[in-house]
Amino acid sequence: MRGLFNLKRLTTEQIVDIIDYAEALKNNGLPVSYPDKKFATLFFENSTRTQNSFVMAMMKLGIQVDQIDVQHSSVTKGETLYDTVRTLEYIGFDGVVIRHSQNEYYKELEGINMPIFNAGDGSGSHPTQSLLDLMTIKEEFHSFKGLKCCIVGDIIHSRVAHTNAEIMKRLGMEVYIAGPESFLDDTAEVISLDEAIKTCDVIMLLRVQFERNAHLDMTKEEYHQKFGLYKERVDKMKKTAIIMHPAPVNRGIEIADDIVECSRSRIFPQMTNGVYVRMSVISRVLEGKLQ
Ligand code: CP
């Protein structure tokens, strides 16, 4: 199978190449165009950023896009994921971007010949989110080695946390996690949020994933006080430290309303970088540099 499924399958060199190429696309413009290519998006879970960012990336690359409405497809009549994707391939699409609630759904797609781009699988992985996070960190600090990142919140349900922790450690970063005990797993070393605030270069917040049955055994107000980021905490961060969040944000729960766009926040610039990272990934796959 071709495409991008998770970052574990990629070498560190391939990951660095995707980020470097995304930076080049952002800063120097576009040397490539694929006007003869036709891609589909297939989102079984809702999305604002990833779906539209992939669509924007494809439009910038000259690729024609069909955003398939899963609710009005034959999925509702019992069609399997394999049969849906196989159908798209035989209809003539050259690639498909898929988000699905099932971890590693792509293992059901062995035999598909067109490239598949994973836009998130359950609580498994979200490779292009991690790549855009890494691009944002590199833009800020110019390298990864020795940087400290704390991922805060609902770690156990988060594909972003799992993907980021693995790749950040591989790139030489120190990764910590903080949050309510019931949300933590063995993704990284546990640290108190207030310790992380004083020592880390990146504070990466996560929302509570209620759609994955995350149970909050405190009120939202209590969560905000104990594990949220608000001005008093931001004032204690290292002078050079930044705030990140994959979004969507739940204002007033994991992050105070007035912090979402404060000077340390890179939350919206992360979204811009997502377009370039997705352009980079699609180009590398179409050029045969990523299998
Ligand atoms: N970060 C992210 O995956 O956002 P969406 O769910 O809106 O795509």
For the chain, the average pLDDT equals 96
CA–CA gap between residue 249 and residue 228 (Å, rounded): 12
Give me the pLDDT at residue 99, please.
Answer: 98
Dist. CA 247 → ligand 1 center (Å): 6
How sure is the predictor about 32, in pLDDT bands with cuts at 50, 70 and 90? Answer: confident
pTM, two decimal places: 0.96
For ligand 1, atom 4, name the residue with the nearest CA.
49
**Ligand 1 probe mutation, 53, 129, 164, most atoms within 8 A of CB:** 129
Mean pLDDT of 113-134: 96
For ligand 1, atom 3, name the residue with the nearest CA.
50
Dist. CA 121 → ligand 1 center (Å): 12
31 pLDDT more than 90? no
Give me the pLDDT at residue 184, please.
Answer: 95
CA–CA gap between residue 116 and residue 225 (Å, rounded): 41
Dist. CA 126 → ligand 1 center (Å): 9
Dist. CA 43 → ligand 1 center (Å): 11
108 pLDDT more than 90? yes
Please write the tens of the pLDDT for every residue from 35-74: 999 999 999 999 999 999 999 999 999 999 999 999 999 9
Closest CA to 45 of 113, 107, 123, 134: 123
Helices 49-60 and 127-141 pack at an angle, to 10 degrees, of 80
Q: Would you tell me how many other CB atoms lie within 10 Å of the CB of residue 214?
A: 17
Look up residue 261 and give its DSSP letter: T
Look up residue 179 and give its DSSP letter: S
How sure is the predictor about 117, in pLDDT bands with cuts at 50, 70 and 90? Answer: very high
216 pLDDT more than 90? no
How sure is the predictor about 161, in pLDDT bands with cuts at 50, 70 and 90? Answer: very high
30 pLDDT more than 90? no
228 pLDDT more than 90? yes
Give me 284's structure tokens. 């590398």
CA–CA gap between residue 163 and residue 51 (Å, rounded): 19
Distance of CA 76 to the CA centre of its chain: 27
Q: Would you tell me how many other CB atoms lie within 10 Å of the CB of residue 143?
A: 11
Dist. CA 50 → ligand 1 center (Å): 5
Please write the tens of the pLDDT for every residue from 234-282: 999 999 999 999 999 999 999 999 999 999 999 999 999 999 999 999 9
Instruction: Judge whether 138 and 144 are in contact, CB under 8 Å.
Output: yes
CA–CA gap between residue 93 and residue 15 (Å, rounded): 26
How sure is the predictor about 211, in pLDDT bands with cuts at 50, 70 and 90? Answer: confident
Residues 6+ apart with CB under 8 A from 286: 34, 37, 95, 115
The minimum-distance atom of ligand 1 relative to the CA of 126 is 3
